[in-house]
């Protein structure tokens, strides 16, 4: 199974480390062909405007959108979650728009307000969340599961193969969330 | 003595500080002096802007003492864009840094481009909630700044010249020194730390990991897409562009081309297309022709 990590900008290298550390193959993706060759993708943290713009300029936007619609598993963290959202509050920026959620950028404030906190997982237990100029999911469409929350707000959600986190699991050493996504992706890739 | 490395012993806010620097890898940070320029930068794909009163080329031309920007300029730029906004304080001027933190800038650049306020000491950066970026010319300087709490390093280059030679020299120096210490036996690291003028614990970490504990960006003299790609191929993780964009004759196109060049820094076919028809680059000045006192890179202790 090959995990394509969108590598225009942001902390894609941290995701590549997380995936390879889990024993899967990870490749940096910057071209439409790279998208086509991926069994699943990760959209990293970074600046969502920059990443979206480069996807549009270099022909990746439609390809990624179509692959997601065709069932390719995808995991977006922070900026990646913003790019997956159908609705971005007060913004008309370029996006994939694959997930029926409403999200607000920089909802906690500027970098001064960035923080760490323990997230409550729906499966039980907690996960250390690093929130950096993080967005907030303000609306969750039907059929979407909340897998993790902070103070009652959803911060990790999924619908089938589309996963989104408003924090950065790639910045901590705990690989549980990556492992779960990769296990899901493997079942899709092998058609089990 | 614990056997964990220096980075692993830092507190929670270290991870959010270095984390923002991680989010800025692979992109371009542009100097801007007005909200309109900030919008042009954002629309071109800049991942962050540096809010200034004057770009470095104009600081050189203007002469006199260069200080922190008027808060009004910073606030105007903050309200014009959604991407992170950075701003510069003078070396050692912790009150300018306090003011910039109060304004809510996302990164403070304790910068040699402004006139130093202290000729011996830098700002103690750990006690700030906002992360700092600092310039360096070599590994010792980088590790001293990280020891003081800088969460991002940029090699200095020679700002405001449009001449990339100093940026290349500084980046090659830092990377070469890291390569050299990575093969040294442990018993040689203490004397190496003394010679570099760097904290021992950080020298040990770099020797083991072969990389800086924080992202390492490039600055000072980048004027073309090829310059930006050169710095990336040499090992920079992102690029600051100061005067190079808004001192050129087509800032929109050049800004976009430099963003594209950093995204495809390893693809010469794409770089050829990206570099086409951009109009005149900033005319610039050769840094080798400059007198020692005109150089900004020597500021920093």
pLDDT at B288: 85
Look at A116 and B15 and tell me if their CB atoms are within 8 Å: yes
Look at A47 and B130 and tell me if their CB atoms are within 8 Å: no
Question: Contact B16/A120 with Cβ under 8 angstroms?
Answer: no
Q: What is the pLDDT of residues B20-34, one digit of tens each?
A: 999 999 999 999 999
For chain A, what is the domain count? 1
Look at B101 and A112 and tell me if their CB atoms are within 8 Å: yes
pLDDT at B255: 97
Of A9, A131, A172, the CB nearest to B26: A9
CB pairs under 8 A between A and B: 105
The residue annotated as part of the active site, out of B25, B72, B88, B156, is B88
Does A50 touch chain B if contact means CB atoms closer than 8 Å? yes
Contacts of B87 (CB under 8 A, 6+ apart): B50, B51, B52, B68, B69, B74, B100, B103, B105, B108, B109
Helix (H, G, I), strand (E, B) or coil at B260: helix
CATH of the domain at A88: 3.40.50.880
Does A135 touch chain B if contact means CB atoms closer than 8 Å? no
Report the predicted TM-score, pTM, of the whole model to 2 decimal places. 0.96
Mean pLDDT value of segment B137-156: 98
pLDDT at B285: 87
Nearest to B213 by CA among B166, B149, B155, B136: B149
pLDDT at B2: 52
* A178 flagged as catalytic: no
Could you tell me which residues are beta bridge partners of residue A101?
A140
pLDDT at A192: 57
In terms of CA atoms, which chain A residue is nearest residue B41? A50
> CA of A41 to nearest chain B CA: how many angstroms apart?
18
Of B12, B47, B130, the CB nearest to A50: B47
Question: Contact B222/B255 with Cβ under 8 angstroms?
Answer: no
In terms of CA atoms, which chain B residue is nearest residue A116? B12
Of B23, B83, B106, the CB nearest to A49: B83
Given a cut of 50, whether residue B1 has pLDDT beyond it is no
B interface residues, A as partner, C-beta within 8 Å: 12, 15-16, 19-20, 22-27, 42, 45-48, 82-84, 101, 104-107, 129-131, 259-260, 263-264
Given a cut of 80, whether residue A26 has pLDDT beyond it is yes
Mind spelling out the 3-state secondary structure of A42-98?
EECCCCHHHHHHHHHHCCCHHHHHHHHHCCCCEEEECHHHHHHEEEECCCCCCCCCC
Domain coverage including residue A19? 2-190
Question: Contact B103/B75 with Cβ under 8 angstroms?
Answer: yes
Question: Contact A45/A157 with Cβ under 8 angstroms?
Answer: no
* B88 flagged as catalytic: yes
Question: Contact B85/B78 with Cβ under 8 angstroms?
Answer: yes
Mean pLDDT value of segment B39-65: 93
- Across all residues in chain B, what is the average pLDDT? 95
pLDDT at B283: 84
Cα distances (Å, whole numbers) of residue A52 to A49, A173, B19, B48, B279 = 5, 28, 20, 15, 26
> Cβ contacts (< 8 Å) between B264 and chain A: which residues?
30
Whole-number percent of chain B with pLDDT over 90: 89
- So what's the ipTM on this one? 0.96
Question: Contact B59/B66 with Cβ under 8 angstroms?
Answer: yes
CA angle B245, B249, B251 (to 5 degrees): 40
Q: What is the pLDDT of residues B229-249, one digit of tens each?
A: 999 999 999 999 989 999 999
Q: What is the pLDDT of residues A41-80, one digit of tens each?
A: 999 999 999 999 999 999 999 999 999 999 999 999 999 9
Of B22, B46, B130, the CB nearest to A112: B130
């Amino acid at each position: 199974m090959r995990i394509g990590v969108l590598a225009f900008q942001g902390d894609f290298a941290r995701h590549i480390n997380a995936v390879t550390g889990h024993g899967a193959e990870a490749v940096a993706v910057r071209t439409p062909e790279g998208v086509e060759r991926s069994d699943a993708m990760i959209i990293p943290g970074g600046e969502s405007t920059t990443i979206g713009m480069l996807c549009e300029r270099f022909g990746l936007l439609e390809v990624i959108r179509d692959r997601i619609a065709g069932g390719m598993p995808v995991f977006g963290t922070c900026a990646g979650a913003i790019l997956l959202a159908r609705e971005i509050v007060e913004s008309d920026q370029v996006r994939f728009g694959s997930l029926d959620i409403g999200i607000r950028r920089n909802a906690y404030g500027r970098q001064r307000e960035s923080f760490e906190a323990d997230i409550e997982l729906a499966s039980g237990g907690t996960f250390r969340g690093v929130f950096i100029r993080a967005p907030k999911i303000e609306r969750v469409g039907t059929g979407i599961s909340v897998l993790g929350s902070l103070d009652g707000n959803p911060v990790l959600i999924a619908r089938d193969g589309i996963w989104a986190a408003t924090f950065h699991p790639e910045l901590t050493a705990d690989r549980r969330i990556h492992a779960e996504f990769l296990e899901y992706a493997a079942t899709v890739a092998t058609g089990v | 003595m614990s056997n964990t490395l220096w980075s692993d012993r830092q507190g929670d806010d270290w991870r959010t500080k270095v984390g923002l620097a991680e989010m800025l890898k692979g992109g371009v940070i542009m100097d801007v002096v007005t909200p309109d320029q900030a919008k042009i930068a954002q629309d071109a794909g800049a991942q962050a802007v540096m809010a200034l009163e004057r770009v470095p080329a104009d600081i050189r031309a203007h002469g006199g003492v260069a200080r922190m920007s008027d808060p009004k300029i910073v606030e105007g730029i903050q309200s014009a864009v959604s991407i992170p906004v950075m701003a510069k304080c003078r070396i050692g001027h912790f009150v300018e840094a306090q003011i910039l933190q109060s304004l809510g800038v996302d990164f403070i650049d304790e910068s040699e481009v402004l006139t130093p306020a202290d000729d011996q000491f830098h700002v103690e950066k750990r006690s700030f909630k906002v992360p700092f970026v600092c310039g360096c010319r070599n590994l010792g300087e980088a590790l001293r700044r990280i020891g003081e709490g800088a969460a991002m390093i940029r090699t200095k280059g020679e700002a405001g010249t449009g001449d990339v030679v100093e940026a290349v020299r500084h980046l090659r120096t830092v990377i070469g020194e890291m390569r050299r210490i990575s093969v040294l036996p442990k018993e040689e690291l203490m004397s190496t730390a003394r010679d570099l003028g760097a904290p021992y614990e950080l020298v040990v970490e770099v020797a083991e990991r072969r990389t800086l504990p924080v992202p390492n960006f490039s600055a000072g003299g980048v004027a073309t897409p090829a310059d930006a790609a050169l710095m990336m191929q040499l090992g920079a993780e992102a690029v600051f562009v100061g005067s190079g964009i808004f001192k050129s004759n087509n800032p929109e196109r050049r800004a976009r081309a430099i963003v594209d060049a950093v995204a495809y820094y390893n693809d010469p076919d794409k770089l050829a297309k990206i570099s086409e028809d951009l109009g005149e680059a900033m005319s610039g000045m050769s840094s080798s022709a400059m007198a020692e006192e005109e150089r900004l890179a020597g500021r920093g202790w």
